[in-house]
Chains A and B, each alone.
Chain A
């Protein structure tokens, strides 16, 4: 599959996450995606990087989180990689209960946590998680519409 890829990396500090978010949003705008679409994809990447820092690395700094942005003819593939604790694969199982299925009239049941993965799953077309040789890779795929696909990869 031909396309273009760019790799971004930050150390595992939440203060570095906006850098990744803004970079992804800009890359999406070059696809070109609309401002809103670019924002939503950047939000998904921010959520994934936050999870890597908070859950995989337990908020320890000095680890690396890598984001690989790939633009192909019919899709975007974004991989978020860490070398920390592995996520429970049940979190991404199709039958996993969504925290978004709540009763808005029941104050206690309105979710405060666990929304990140739900946002990612609602926004992206495919989400997979693999671990190999100590490296965890969350892969987010967004299919491009025919209008978006007609544009050359990463407009210059």
Chain B
């Protein structure tokens, strides 16, 4: 799957360029995220603004990425659409992930500007 990556301050912004994060691409996505984390990125913003559909496999791959950080870094989410936000709430993952409306807010939070 296609992932856009760019840096913003200390954070790496990862943007899947697919409209579906589902069982077809979940393994590939998980492997790509694993590589990024293994290469030393400790602050990652996952920008899901282009993703219209996430199934449980896609969500599992995101959770797997969070676990891969192992508490040594931070993985936050931004740009959720109404449909994908509903999935996070339905599965109670909104209690697990820090979720921000925009990339800017997410980067700011990772920069330690939270109160």
Query: Is the Cβ of A36 less than 8 Å from the Cβ of B86?
Result: yes
How many A-B contacts at CB < 8 Å in the complex?
75
Residues of chain B whose beta carbon lies under 8 Å from any beta carbon of chain A = 20, 22-24, 53, 55-57, 59-61, 63-64, 66-67, 70-71, 82-83, 86-87, 90-93, 95-96
Size of A's binding interface in residues, CB under 8 A: 29
Query: Is the Cβ of A17 less than 8 Å from the Cβ of B60?
Result: no
Interface residues of B, dominant DSSP: helix
Given contacts A107-B71, A108-B67, A112-B64, list 7 more A-B pairs with CB under 8 A: A39-B83, A46-B53, A107-B67, A107-B70, A110-B66, A113-B56, A119-B90
Query: Is the Cβ of B92 less than 8 Å from the Cβ of A112?
Result: no
Contacting residues, chain B, for A43 (C-beta < 8 A): 53, 55, 87
Of residues 73 through 126 on chain A, the ones whose CB sits less than 8 Å from some CB of chain B are 100, 102, 104, 107-108, 110-113, 115-116, 118-119, 122-123
Query: Is the Cβ of B66 less than 8 Å from the Cβ of A50?
Result: no
Given the known inter-chain contacts A36-B86, A110-B66, please indicate yes or no for A100 contacting B92, CB distance below 8 A: yes
Closest A residue by C-beta to B19: A18
* Cα A35 to Cα B86 with chains together (Å): 12
* Cα A5 to Cα B23 with chains together (Å): 27
Distance from A116 Cβ to chain B, minimum over Cβ atoms (Å): 4
Contacting residues, chain A, for B83 (C-beta < 8 A): 35-36, 39-40
Distance from A58 Cβ to chain B, minimum over Cβ atoms (Å): 14
Contacting residues, chain A, for B64 (C-beta < 8 A): 112
Distance from A43 Cβ to chain B, minimum over Cβ atoms (Å): 6
Q: List 23 A-B contacts (CB under 8 A).
A: A14-B23, A17-B23, A18-B22, A18-B53, A36-B82, A36-B83, A39-B53, A39-B86, A43-B53, A46-B22, A50-B56, A102-B92, A104-B95, A104-B96, A110-B66, A110-B67, A110-B96, A112-B60, A112-B61, A112-B63, A112-B67, A119-B90, A122-B90
